[in-house]
A and B are shown apart, each in its own frame.
Chain A
Amino acid sequence: MAGMAFGRRTLAALALATGLIGTAQAGEVTFWTWRQEDKAIYTDLFAEFTKANPGITVKFEAFPNENYNTIVTTALAGGKGGDVLHARAYGGLEAMAKSGYYLALDKTNVPELANLPDDANASESLRADGKVYAVSLAGQTLGLIVNKDVFATAGVAVPATWADLLAACTALKAKGITPIANGTATPWMDAIFATVFTNPFLGPDWVKDMLAGKTNFSDAKFTAALGKLIELKPCLPDGFTGVDYATSQQLFSAGRAAIFVGGSFEIAPFRRGNPKLNLDFVAPPAPAAGQPTYVSRFFDSGFAVNAKSPNQADALKLVRWMATKAFAEPAAAKLGNISSLKDVAAADPLLGKIAKLNETAMPYATLVYFRFEAPTGTDLLQEGVQKMMGGTATPAEVGANITAGLAKWYKPFQK
């Protein structure tokens, strides 16, 4: 299978190298993405761009998500590739942009970068030079997705504090409802689960101190927050260590569970799967009444310009347009996400509510800051959470292991 996967990549690369994919003509900008499912949406949006910029058309070309990185880098290494490229963020961006394939964007070639908040631009920057390499598209917010009908039928209020949450768990279970749909069998969900519930206990100042190396994941504050997750074991499905992502989604979609811990990106699939779901998105419970709570946030992709594009002037025009409301507002509405741009109103009321929660959001730290080198913060956190929830590691061991792993490459931890 490993060999097969590599074989597929090699084949895809060969297809590119032999020039199966045509090069763009003058006045035509090629847009490369892994989002085949959004083809209709982008085609509509690009038609608007052509209206505003007569003479420039945009060609949409999509590649399979799992091979996208390999296909793009192989093409770019050969001096080919799309003119405008859908780019990953953070560590994923770095893997591609540090080879010098993306054009550095700044105030002179893309003045519209000023329309984006600093943390969005940071998500498309390299650590080495601090330059921005892509216009961020959207942000994702992590919190609790709530089935309002389930809560209402059970006569339980959506919890606002940690104590409320534990009480709601007991009440919901008494009615035969699984309080929280999440299991721990799918690792990437565990990192999200842990981030959502620990962030209100940590607070933004702790993250700043931790990034500066003044504290780290072995800190008692972090391990105490992590230990809180153990209290949630009775809220999770029976046999939760064997319950995977797909099962959690099914439990929630079918109305058998009240809360799904996840990202704003889950909302659209939930609505598609069961249009009758009466959804709400709330911040995780605060440690105690009167204390602040925070959703967690990260940015997930952007638009970059091929540094070797023969059509760079037109490509830059497209990317500049993508950093304006003319693109961002309809794109956010059609794609069902929350635009990275400042002051873009969300068409959907629920997304509007999430945008409001974003104003005080904390970062999804292990993704935003610790996904640049191996071992990544997310990998360490998710393995630790799986073990801790399975009962084979203590919060202190998990914290110490995360710190030790990151110290391999994160300088402030190397003391």
Chain B
Amino acid sequence: MSSRLRLNVWIAFLLAPGLVVMTLFVAAPLLSSFRYAFYNFNGVLPDTFIGLANFRDVLFEAPFAATTWRALGHNAIVFAALMITQNGLAYLIAFALLKSLPGHRIHQTIVFLPVVLSAVIVGFLWKLFFHPLFGLVNAALAIIGIHGPPWLGNESTALGSIIFTNAWHWVGFPALIFLAGMQRISKETLEAARIDGATDRVLLTSIIWPLVAPSTTIVATLTFIGSFNWFELPYVMAGATGSPGGATDVLGLYFYRTAFGSASSGLQDFGHGSALAVLMFLFLAITSGLGLRYLRRREIEA
């Protein structure tokens, strides 16, 4: 046996277990979901091949289309809001931590602490905090004389409240990535800028921002995928139907209750559910692919 062949056999041998597991438990279900999207379901069994009809229904047919687009719109709001508030704040926190002020180690731990909690726990916790009758938030507001609204019950505040919870839960993660990016910038660069009289604002906008471009790429991509796959928090805090009145409905919830049924309707429709899942997959894959290309190019320019 030539050494080259032996090497190839070894590689194949080492790759095989992982490949089998991935094929069986990732690729195969994914492909079967692709297949289901083209079938009409009779009960819980695929019954007739109907081509693109499921896709047409969820994208263009009333009343399903309205729900799909509304959910997509909410996902987009979540993405934009998280990019600006959660990641913006994370960027500032990272800068503050970079300055190594007294007590920065303990602050770093505190900021990162909620990240290790499960989203389900965070969701229940904040659902209680936002409770209109015995919630902490309204009790605090009452002290300063404000009668708080039922945060999760108002159509105008529900989505914002869940986005806030998400930011509270996750802000430590982008902060850590930004901090790592900032720590990679050479001390000389920052000191030179200081000597030239750069203020914190100039440092943040003109010096650090372009130099942490690789961190921004990671944060933006993960936030994008997280926002459009958003499920746990809205499911725990607003239920499978996106209460109230669909004001917090996102694609993940719509997919879940279409495929698996909600509390009040045991209807399981794997055909339309799979179509939604496939569309979400394609949208995420294509958009994050294009986004990554742009962000990577931006890193080089910087």
Q: Does B256 make an interface contact (CB < 8 A)?
A: yes
- Check A242–B239 contact: CB distance below 8 A: no
Among A44-52, A92-100, A325-333, the stretch that binds chain B is A92-100
- Check A187–B265 contact: CB distance below 8 A: no
Interface residues of B in 249-277 (CB under 8 A from A): 252, 255-256, 258-269, 272
Could you list 16 A-B pairs, sorted by A, with CB under 8 Å? A1-B235, A5-B256, A69-B266, A94-B43, A97-B43, A187-B239, A188-B263, A188-B264, A240-B153, A241-B150, A242-B130, A247-B133, A379-B241, A387-B155, A390-B154, A392-B155
- Check B267–A238 contact: CB distance below 8 A: no
- Check B245–A239 contact: CB distance below 8 A: no
Smallest CB separation, B132 vs chain A (Å): 3
- Check B45–A77 contact: CB distance below 8 A: yes
- Check A374–B258 contact: CB distance below 8 A: yes
- Check A374–B256 contact: CB distance below 8 A: no
5 cross-chain pairs, A with B, having the tightest CB-CB distances, nearest first: A239-B132, A242-B150, A242-B153, A241-B153, A239-B150
- Check A386–B264 contact: CB distance below 8 A: no
- Check B245–A243 contact: CB distance below 8 A: no
Q: Does A184 make an interface contact (CB < 8 A)?
A: yes
The CA-CA distance from A373 to B263 in the complex, in Å, is 15
- Number of chain B residues close to chain A: CB under 8 A: 46
- Check A73–B131 contact: CB distance below 8 A: no
By a CB distance below 8 angstroms, the chain B residues around A242 are 130-132, 149-154
* 16 other A-B residue contacts (CB within 8 Å) besides A392-B155, A392-B245: A1-B252, A69-B268, A70-B44, A187-B263, A239-B138, A240-B150, A240-B153, A241-B150, A374-B267, A376-B267, A379-B262, A379-B264, A387-B244, A390-B153, A393-B245, A408-B62
Q: Does A371 make an interface contact (CB < 8 A)?
A: yes
Interface residues of B in 54-93 (CB under 8 A from A): 62-64
Q: Does B51 make an interface contact (CB < 8 A)?
A: no
- Check B256–A185 contact: CB distance below 8 A: no
- Check A95–B267 contact: CB distance below 8 A: yes
Contacts A183-B153, A390-B155; A2 near B132 (Cβ below 8 A): no
Q: Does B206 make an interface contact (CB < 8 A)?
A: no
Q: Does B29 make an interface contact (CB < 8 A)?
A: yes
Smallest CB separation, B238 vs chain A (Å): 9
B138, B255, B260: residue with the most chain A Cβ atoms closer than 10 Å: B260
The CA-CA distance from A146 to B255 in the complex, in Å, is 39
By a CB distance below 8 angstroms, the chain A residues around B215 are none
Q: Does B42 make an interface contact (CB < 8 A)?
A: yes
Q: Does B246 make an interface contact (CB < 8 A)?
A: yes
Q: Which residue of A lies closest to B120 (CB)?
A: A1
Q: Does A284 make an interface contact (CB < 8 A)?
A: no
Q: Which residue of B lies closest to A251 (CB)?
A: B133
Q: Which residue of B lies closest to A382 (CB)?
A: B264
- Number of chain A residues close to chain B: CB under 8 A: 53
By a CB distance below 8 angstroms, the chain A residues around B259 are 6
The CA-CA distance from A243 to B119 in the complex, in Å, is 22
The CA-CA distance from A92 to B263 in the complex, in Å, is 12
- CB within 8 A of B245: which of A91, A186, A387? A387
The CA-CA distance from A401 to B272 in the complex, in Å, is 21
- Check B29–A10 contact: CB distance below 8 A: yes
The CA-CA distance from A212 to B155 in the complex, in Å, is 35
Q: Which residue of A lies closest to B61 (CB)?
A: A408
Q: Does B231 make an interface contact (CB < 8 A)?
A: yes
The CA-CA distance from A96 to B245 in the complex, in Å, is 29
By a CB distance below 8 angstroms, the chain B residues around A70 are 44, 268
Contacts A1-B232, A379-B262; A99 near B42 (Cβ below 8 A): yes
By a CB distance below 8 angstroms, the chain B residues around A98 are 42-43
Q: Does A168 make an interface contact (CB < 8 A)?
A: no
By a CB distance below 8 angstroms, the chain B residues around A401 are 63
Q: Which residue of B lies closest to A375 (CB)?
A: B63
Q: Which residue of A lies closest to B261 (CB)?
A: A69
Q: Does A336 make an interface contact (CB < 8 A)?
A: no
By a CB distance below 8 angstroms, the chain A residues around B138 are 239
The CA-CA distance from A254 to B42 in the complex, in Å, is 46
The CA-CA distance from A99 to B45 in the complex, in Å, is 7
Smallest CB separation, A216 vs chain B (Å): 15
By a CB distance below 8 angstroms, the chain A residues around B132 are 237-243
Interface residues of A in 311-334 (CB under 8 A from B): none
Per-residue A-contact encoding for B163-193, CB less than 8 Å = 1, 0 else: 0000000000000000000000000000000
Q: Which residue of B lies closest to A380 (CB)?
A: B63
- Check A2–B255 contact: CB distance below 8 A: yes
- CB within 8 A of B269: which of A96, A99, A241, A374? A374
The CA-CA distance from A73 to B150 in the complex, in Å, is 41
The CA-CA distance from A88 to B263 in the complex, in Å, is 13
Q: Which residue of A lies closest to B260 (CB)?
A: A5
By a CB distance below 8 angstroms, the chain B residues around A239 are 132-133, 138, 149-150, 153
Q: Does A204 make an interface contact (CB < 8 A)?
A: no
Q: Does B243 make an interface contact (CB < 8 A)?
A: yes
By a CB distance below 8 angstroms, the chain B residues around A183 are 153
The CA-CA distance from A371 to B263 in the complex, in Å, is 12
Q: Does A191 make an interface contact (CB < 8 A)?
A: yes
